[in-house]
Every structure is written in structure tokens, then in C-alpha cells.
Amino acid sequence: MKLSKNLIYFFGALGGLLFGYDTGVIAGAQLFIQQDFHLNEAEIGFVVSCVLIGAIVGAVLISPLSDKYGRKKMVMLTALIFLLGALGCSVAPNVFILNVSRLFLGVAVGGASALVPMYLAELAPASQRGSLSSLNQLMIMIGMLIAYIANYVWRLSPIGWRLMLGFAAVPAAILFIGGILLPESPRYLVKIGKVEKAREILLNIRTKQETEAEIKEIEEQSKIEQGSIGELFSAWIRPSIVVAFGLAILQQWMGCNTVFYYAPRILMSGGSDSTSAIKTQIILGIFYVIVTAIAAFYMDRFKRRTVLTFGALAMGLSFFALSFAFHVEANNNGFHLLTFIFIATYISSFCATWGPVMWVMIGEVFPLKVRGLAVGIASLVNWAANWTVSVSFPVLEHSLGDQVLFIIFGIVCMIAVIFVQKFVFETRGYTLEQIEEALADGNTKELNVKGNI
């Protein structure tokens, strides 16, 4: 089959769309799940966040499994697990079965979030790999927007939340079919000795000269001995560990997925009814997609440190303003304009900065020898941080109130500004080899002086 680049990106985008849909759909569905199953704050918090426990498992397992059985088979497996998990959620007779189905779903979410970008990067031309992280973030936002629309369409149905959760089976089925049609990763084929098959696949999407150069590069890279856990934590790599793990934790502790998962609850706490909250979320979703698309275009025009610093600052100020808005609009009925504005400014700041840039940097800061292992562990840390915030939010909201909680998130954002300035070294404008050389020489701070902004 003649493989087009557009087809590669389409099926890769579905991985991000699935992740985004699941993140967005639970935001609206939880309102009705809590009513149907009579759940308290801690119980609904676990329903929302248990998918993240599965995601941690999926993120840990997918790398060794894809190395052993191939990327193609694992893409199909994660799509199948996602499909079965979505169907399980849609027919769950009680909260226990719902949680089991969401744990199952989480394994696919965690696996796909790591596997699909890797599979894409190994198939896509080198000149287009840099845009994949931004494309993935954009498709996550589109998936969330589709979920918000699904929440609104089925909000009045007696089985509405079941339809909302079950609809995820449709893109999962398309991704499974795509897994059948798409070829295996050339890098995996070279690794297991099937060089001619890899060459045949590359010739469909590269020139002959590009194919031979890439085959040679893959063969050379496959000879590099992979680093161990011990090497990952050696002194010269420690600056990379601090950057990657710090960014992975702070991205979640600054409240990003809390707002994604619980936006309707936040809006209802501000005085909106459930229908108005879900309508407002659709408007926010459209705004998220537009901002993310613009950010994807401009991302490489500014230093990573600059983007992260201004992003954290803007998110922190948005949270402080949101806390003030809740105080001012506490007794107002109807649409709460200030609450809407500051949720929008927070999320747009995240989508334009920490959303895509954090993942780009995690892939840039590590030496080749430990990069695969390190990125996998950093992903696990990010999922774990996501879970700790998401599972605790309903309880903290109930005990502390939204105004106090938003101030806490705002303070964390300010801590992130300090962290970026003190510990994060610049990667934009440098080759991966130059970054590795700076690590080896212990001169990562010298990377911060290149360019203007």
C-alpha cells in the first residue's frame, strides 16, 4: 500500500483525540454519574481519576512491549483496550464496574499517549517530527471539544452519561482499523533484522537517497547500548532529571487537568446550572482549539524558558483573578462573566505554553543512551502527579472552597516561575548532540545565553 504522510498524521492524531475525548467527556458525565450512583466527593473523585491509575500502568508497560512485539501490534492492542473500556463504561450497572472499566480504559490512554507519538516520529520525515508534539496537543484539544459537544447533546437523555462515555468506542475502532492498514515501524524492523522490509516501507514515503541515509542512521543507533536506571541517575545527567521530573510534576500541580476534568463543577460552584455550565464549556473548548492551533504555529519562535516562564506567570495570575471572581460573583444569578474570562485565560495560557512545551523539552534534555527510558519514567511521573491532583480536588474543594484552592494553585504557578529560572536550561536552537555535550561538560547554563527571547 502506498502510504501517504496525511494518513500517518491522521491515525496519529486519533491517539491524541482519544486521550482528549476521555479527558473532556468525564468533565460533564460526572455530574450525572454522581446523581445516578449517589456518590460523595471522594467517590466521584475516584471515578474521575481512576483512569489515571491505569494510565500509569500503560505508560510503564508500553515501551518494553512495543520493543518486543512491535509498534503496530501495540497500536492495535491499545485501540482494542480503549474500545472495550469505553463499551464497559457505557453498560456499567454499578460504580464498581464503572471504575474497573475506567481503569482498563486508562491502560490504553497511558499506552497510546506514549506509543502513538513514538510510532509517528519513527514513520514521519525528520523535517516534520518537530511539529508532532504540537499537533498531538491540538488533537487533544479537538478531542475535548468533541466531548463537550457530546456532553451537551446527551445531557437530557436518561442514559446520557452512558452514551457520552460509550461514544469513545467510535474513534477507538477507527484507530484499530488504522493499525491494521498502517505498516510496522522501520526502526523496529531494523532492530529485529528485517532491513529489507524496513527499506520497502521507507521507499513509499521517502526518496531513495533519504531511505538509504535513514537506514544507515537506524542501524548505527541500534548498535548503541541502552542505559540502565543507575546510569539515568548519574551525576552528569542529574540536571536533565531535575528539569524533566520538575516540569512533569509542576505541569499537573499547576491545576491544568483539574480545570479540564472539573470545569462544569467549577462553573456550577460559581452559580451556573448544569446545562449552562456544559454550554459554557463548549465555548471554552472552541477557544482552546484556536489558541492551541496558533501556539503550534509560533512555538519554535521563542525560547523554551521564556515560554514556560510567561506561561506559568499568566496561569498564576489567572488563578488569583479567578479566586477574586468567585468572591465578587458569589451571589449573582445567571452567567458569571468574570469566572468565564479567567478560566479561559488560564487554559489558553496552558495550551500555548506548558501543554506542548513540557513534552517537547522532556524529549530534548536527555542523552540518547537513556532517552527512551527517561522519557518513559517522566511520563509515569506526570501521570502520577495528574492522579494526585485529580483524585483530591473534589475533597479539597468541599473542605477548603474554590477561592482558597485557586489561590493555592496560583502559588504553585509562581513556584514554577522560580523553578524555570533556576533549574531549566534552554534547548531551542541546539542539536540534541550539543545539549548532550553541555551535559557531559557540566555547562548547561551556557545554553541559556543564545538568542534574544
Per DSSP, the residues of 58-103 read: HHHHHHHHHHHH-HHHHHHHHHHHHHHHHHHHHH-SSHHHHHHHHH
Please tell me whether residue 226 adopts helix, strand or coil conformation: coil
pLDDT given at position 332: 64
Measured between alpha carbons, how far is 211 from 204 in angstroms, rounded to an integer?
9
Measured between alpha carbons, how far is 314 from 300 in angstroms, rounded to an integer?
19
pLDDT given at position 125: 67
Domain ranges of the chain: 1-182, 227-453
The C-alpha cell of 257 is what?
A: 487537568
Nearest-5° angle of CA 108, CA 126, CA 355?
Answer: 50
- Who's near 96: CB < 8 A, 6+ residues apart? none
End-to-end CA distance of the chain: 45
- What is the residue-wise DSSP string for 321-340? HHHHHHHHTTT--S--HHHH
pLDDT per position as a tens digit, 327-371: 776 666 655 778 888 888 998 899 889 988 888 888 788 887 787
pLDDT given at position 248: 93
Nearest to 47 by CA among 30, 59, 63: 30
- Who's near 129: CB < 8 A, 6+ residues apart? 121
CATH number attached to the domain at 1-182: 1.20.1250.20
**Based on the number of CB atoms within 10 Å of its own CB, is 48 exposed (0-12), middle (13-18) or buried (19 or more)?**
buried
- Per cent of the chain over pLDDT 90 is 23
The C-alpha cell of 327 is what?
A: 468572591
The C-alpha cell of 269 is what?
A: 460552584
Between the alpha carbon of residue 308 and those of residues 312, 361, 413, the distances in Å are 6, 11, 10
Nearest to 344 by CA among 314, 371, 378: 314
DSSP one-letter code for 157: S
DSSP one-letter code for 153: H
Common-topology check for domains 1-182 and 227-453: yes
- What is the residue-wise DSSP string for 386-406? HHHHHHHHHHHHHHH-HHHHH
The C-alpha cell of 425 is what?
A: 536550561
- Per cent of the chain over pLDDT 70 is 88
Rg (CA), the chain: 22
Nearest to 119 by CA among 52, 64, 70, 176: 70
Q: What φ, ψ does residue 44 adopt, rounded to 5°? A: -70, -30
Nearest to 220 by CA among 427, 368, 360: 368
Between the alpha carbon of residue 211 and those of residues 220, 302, 427, the distances in Å are 14, 32, 28
User: What pLDDT band is residue 270 in, cutting at 50, 70 and 90?
Assistant: low
Residue 261 has pLDDT above 70, yes or no: no
CATH superfamily, with its number, for domain 227-453: MFS general substrate transporter like domains (1.20.1250.20)
Quick check: 394 and 41 in contact, CB under 8 A?
A: yes
pLDDT given at position 263: 67
Quick check: 203 and 178 in contact, CB under 8 A?
A: no
pLDDT given at position 123: 74
Of the listed ranges 86-100, 108-122, 423-437, the one predicted with least confidence: 108-122
Q: What's the mean per-residue pLDDT of the chain? A: 83
Q: What φ, ψ does residue 444 adopt, rounded to 5°? A: -65, -25
Region for 273 from its dihedrals, namely left if φ exceeds 0, alpha if ψ lies in -120 to 50, beta otherwise: beta
Region for 442 from its dihedrals, namely left if φ exceeds 0, alpha if ψ lies in -120 to 50, beta otherwise: left
More confident residue, 7 or 75: 75
pLDDT per position as a tens digit, 197-241: 989 888 887 888 888 888 887 787 777 656 677 777 888 889 999
The C-alpha cell of 101 is what?
A: 472499566
Query: What's the predicted TM-score (pTM) here?
Result: 0.78
Nearest to 309 by CA among 320, 317, 298, 297: 317
- Dihedral of the alpha carbons of 237, 239, 242, 243, in degrees to the nearest 10: -110
User: What pLDDT band is residue 410 in, cutting at 50, 70 and 90?
Assistant: very high
